[in-house]
Amino acid sequence: MNLDQLNKIAIKMVTPGQGLLAADESTGTIKKRFDSINTTSTEDKRRDWREMLFRTEYAMKNHISGVILYDETIRQKAADGTPLVDLITSHDAIPGIKVDMGAKPLAGRPGETITEGLDGLRDRLNEYYELGARFAKWRAVIEISNPDTADGVTPSWGAIKANTHALARYAALCQEANIVPIVEPEVLMGGYHGIQTCHDVTENVLKTLYSDLYEQGVKLEGTILKPNMVVAGKKCPTQPSVEEVAERTVDVLKDCVPSMVPGIAFLSGGQSNEIATEHLNAMNQIGGFPWNLTYSYGRALQQSALFAWGGDSANYDAAQKAFNHRAKMNGLASMGEWTSELEAAG
């Protein structure tokens, strides 16, 4: 492990004004995205879409520090034969790779999941390093149950512990391979729960995660955290203000995340494009924390560009304009400089 190099990469990943483009949708997930624009998901179409994003010069050079790739994508070449990894590095952005194998039902824990993919991970990481990846991502999924149901309350301690332990083992293997691990314990926002429940669960998950990372010998200065924001479930009748989300999220992070972690790159978690940006901006306006707070967004960076593209190469200019705008808005939010007026001007 070259800890100095890992730390330099991690710091670059959270450069102020920049963040991560999550382009690591599985084949099944990107098919759903393409279905929404009536476009057939073929290998060439998936390549064309991602190539268009990676060739968007303004966004990539100014507001994208790194790109999370899927196994298919890290091996693909652009239409002119240029490896997609080379398109990313040409803009001084860092290629990364999703390495987990997805969330599967957790035995003995109805309604809960465990993320798989540890078997054979050491060899896969070594291969991904040779293919150009310098960071990786592993997502654990934590679901909060409907409080009105009688089938038990989730998340259970057993599910939290199983997932954070897997994240810690993954992170240790990444650092062994000189790859920066993004640890992503996502508390899902799709339920009926209020913001206090999300606050309590997120705090429990993060405290358990950092205990497990310590036990597995992971060097925190060579890691990035990708957490959820502290929000109410989408089905909760009482939704918090932007200010409350920002304050509660910062409070939880201050209570749980050690100062030697270089940065925190939030997932959008199904929030709308502008709300994800506004929440990030509000947190950075609070300030006073030891880590850089930025974004690791998929849909919240891509969705407007996807609809502008519509599966047609004739729409590249419109799609790239949409991507440039969302990247710029999130770049500003990562410095606390976003405004609704700038949003509207785009």
Residues in the chain: 346
Around Cβ 86, how many Cβ atoms within 10 Å?
13
> What token pair was written down for 76?
């693909």
Annotated active-site residue in 12, 98, 137, 226: 226
**Phi-psi group of 70: left, alpha or beta (phi > 0 → left; psi -120 to 50 → alpha; rest → beta):** beta
Alpha-carbon span 331 to 280, nearest angstrom: 10
Around Cβ 150, how many Cβ atoms within 10 Å?
6
Q: Long-range contacts made by residues 315-322, C-beta under 8 angstroms, separation at least 24?
A: 316/52, 319/52, 320/52, 320/55, 320/56, 320/59
Annotated active-site residue in 112, 184, 186, 343: 184
C-alpha distance from residue 288 to each of 7, 261, 296 (Å) = 21, 15, 21
Task: Establish whether 130 is a catalytic residue.
Answer: no
Alpha-helical (H) ranges within 36-148 are 43-54, 57-62, 71-74, 84-89, 121-130
No. of H helices and E strands in the chain?
14, 10
Q: CA triplet 75, 269, 150: central angle to 5 degrees?
A: 125
Task: Establish whether 226 is a catalytic residue.
Answer: yes
Alpha-carbon span 296 to 66, nearest angstrom: 9
C-alpha distance from residue 313 to each of 18, 49, 288, 319, 333 (Å) = 27, 9, 45, 9, 30
User: Would you please indicate which residues are annotated as catalytic (active-site) residues?
Assistant: 184, 226
